[in-house]
A and B are shown apart, each in its own frame.
Chain A
């Protein structure tokens, strides 16, 4: 009898993974990106050290003493971020894919127990992540040789990286077991992780997320000096000596016990619900929630008013735009009543924070609201991208697209109606964004001295904000619709849309930051990021205040913000129109059907009007 268990499911998963070409492509691309970031962190750490040493006058080999600690402190957060980003994406499909392919039932008929299925799935997703992390080990080994990273620090960090993988994988697997589609599992994995991390960290409990343990155990400064810096200072003979007792690797291992218990808890949860949730219908979870809320409110209304309805729900049948009708009347993020609920959920906390900010802020100090604005924008872009990317891919997944494609509706017609059906959602998402802009506007207006001159800038800001909001939301919509048309799988479409938008937004900012560009080159490069449309608008409002500060410190005047804001908005409005044009033009091809080169004459309507209904049935 072999002591090594056979693990057929793990073997199958790894074989499948090995047989896919994209496994290697993704792995190589991820490795290149990760190693590039590591290289950037490495060079920045060395650059800063040399600059620091230049100021102190120290030269020679001594200036590199303990530099490994600086590099280590920059590299390790990147590894934690990589795990946080990739692990849920890797794991969220492991059970839902079986559900979507109707193979979970077959799997459960075998002798594999629920626990084995969950554990083998868990293992199959850990292996790719760990192999990716292994790629950075040579770099870590090199950093270790440079000094400034003691062995405890290295072992403790590796352990915490491993724990982070375990925790995040277990959360994603629990979501994958609970939800019926990969898309919902994917979204809820991140939401749950974000929620748990935010909750525990806001409560000051840093032993739940391993990355937080690492930060507090190894990177928290003692007397203002981090452990890596301490290692350097000690080596240079400038340290605090034996007064500092660095934590041993045992401490972070002990502190990671709650994370390990949480991992175990999520895996047990997945094991318990695997059978129970195996054959649940793939209907929209959000729609089910809304329907449950409907039932509750109806019952409440019946009890309190005896069923009086001031505004009754109309349930019209489709007119001449059936696709838009379905999007508007039958979808959770399309129906007016449901969207109003979404608006209330988004708007009330936004309004509350805005009112609080207006109460406590001095004029022109909006830093607190910028965080809120960033959060709302992120949420709006994510919701828009997910919804737009799944407009067609969800029809493909549910196999409802073919009968529609065989109808005389043109592809462009279908596409336009789908996007028109999203209009309400875009308006709802824009309301909290514009609420923050309105708060900025109100904070900037001096109500005691209202005049055209005083109002000119805030009003222009408000107008620019509205333009920027809708230009960017439509840009995300059309881009994601295009990607959703191209990629047939819902998960791939969502991932690709989010990745493209994130990359488009972040890369120009990183380039501007990395090369430490000065105006106007900084503005020029930043304009390549859609973020510039929002940033330029905000900076236009705060320009007088900023200019006063610049003047005080004798800095050079930079690019006029109004010009930059107008240019950025115009660029992205034009980009939206261009993407829309391309998507509409390629739509029939991407939908996989032929269309006439020119529109057919509207003979069908007249022909239908003349024909008897179902010859033979009359």
Chain B
């Protein structure tokens, strides 16, 4: 269990009579990027707040790096970097002062602060904004500054709640690249987001949560497998033979062939037949292919299939 960065067992969180989290269990090994997805009000932020030691009342077990969130919250705080889903502005501080403020709050030795702050500013590409007031930074820069803050004490686990929310495409890409860099550094990251496409590019595993319950978790492939999602391939052929459609249907691994106006939409059982093998089979059937377009198996499909849009 000590090899796990996060271990949650049967987590229950209630706000009065309202139960926000209903028995979530979760393991995140060290070095993993875990994506937490779910509709608004599903319980993502509450789960993250438990790990950030900011949820005083909950039932169940939550360990961070083997440390108990209930009995050792101070030690847990030294291991985590928590970025909430909003960025409160210290209007009276510059970016540099802001980072010095938190470096002192994280009890970094004063002789090391300048070096660490220079490092995180350079990593987040904010060196040129060091003396700008925090209030004057763009939203994307503020998010990067918040990321710089959570890196100050070199935490093992980053808890990022909606880090890309409200950002423009450029800022979003910048944040994504930054997270990739952190992933390469070996940080364990728990990230919640609504932008599923981005999570799929970043996460090694994902968890889908709805109405306070985990409805699926695992790697993307695992989830697609669990859902028995079939890969759709769009194919356009030149002068196909009259019996070609029936011959394609009989290829082992092909689930169905739907003839559309200018193409065929072929559903493939990918565990039986890979895309490349199917292409080879088509060629062997003497089909003259002008377009071969496998549809990306996206998280949106999985998300829509697994969730019903309910909130807890």
Contacts and interface: CB of A to CB of B under 8 A. Distances in A.
A169 to B, nearest CB: 31
B292 interface: no
B109 A407 contact: no
Interface in A301-321: 317-321
Given A326-B90, A398-B88, A613-B119, A319 B104 contact: yes
A600 B115 CA distance: 27
17 contacts: A399-B87, A403-B82, A406-B80, A409-B105, A592-B56, A594-B73, A596-B74, A599-B74, A600-B72, A607-B78, A612-B154, A613-B154, A614-B123, A614-B185, A615-B154, A615-B186, A616-B185
Nearest to B101: A322
A585 interface: no
Interface in B75-97: 75, 77-78, 80, 82-84, 86-93, 96-97
Contacts of B91: 281-283, 398
Interface in A114-173: none
A608 B107 contact: yes
Contacts of B92: 287, 326, 330-331
A431 to B, nearest CB: 25
A402 B88 contact: yes
A19 interface: no
Given A402-B82, A407-B77, A317 B100 contact: yes
A503 B299 CA distance: 60
Given A402-B84, A614-B116, A617-B123, A408 B72 contact: no
Contacts of A406: 52-54, 77, 80, 82
The 5 closest A-B pairs by CB, nearest first: A616-B185, A399-B88, A400-B88, A322-B104, A406-B82
B128 interface: no
Contact of B106 (A407, A589, A596): A407
Interface of B: 52-54, 56, 69-75, 77-78, 80, 82-84, 86-93, 96-97, 100-102, 104-110, 112-113, 115-116, 119-120, 122-123, 135, 146, 149, 151, 153-154, 184-186
Contact of A594 (B70, B86, B106, B110): B70
Contacts of A613: 112, 115-116, 119, 154
Interface of A: 281-283, 287, 317-323, 325-326, 330-331, 395, 398-410, 589, 592-597, 599-600, 603-605, 607-609, 611-617
A604 B185 contact: no
Contacts of A395: 88
Contacts of A614: 116, 119-120, 123, 151, 154, 185
Contacts of B53: 406, 593-594
A583 to B, nearest CB: 17
Given A281-B135, A322-B101, A604-B78, A403 B149 contact: yes
Contacts of B135: 281, 283
Residue from B70, B74, B93, B102 having most chain A Cβ neighbours under 10 A: B74
Contact of A320 (B69, B104, B120, B153): B104
B54 A605 contact: no
A398 B123 CA distance: 27
B288 to A, nearest CB: 51
B224 to A, nearest CB: 31
Contacts of B89: 398, 400
A542 B109 CA distance: 57
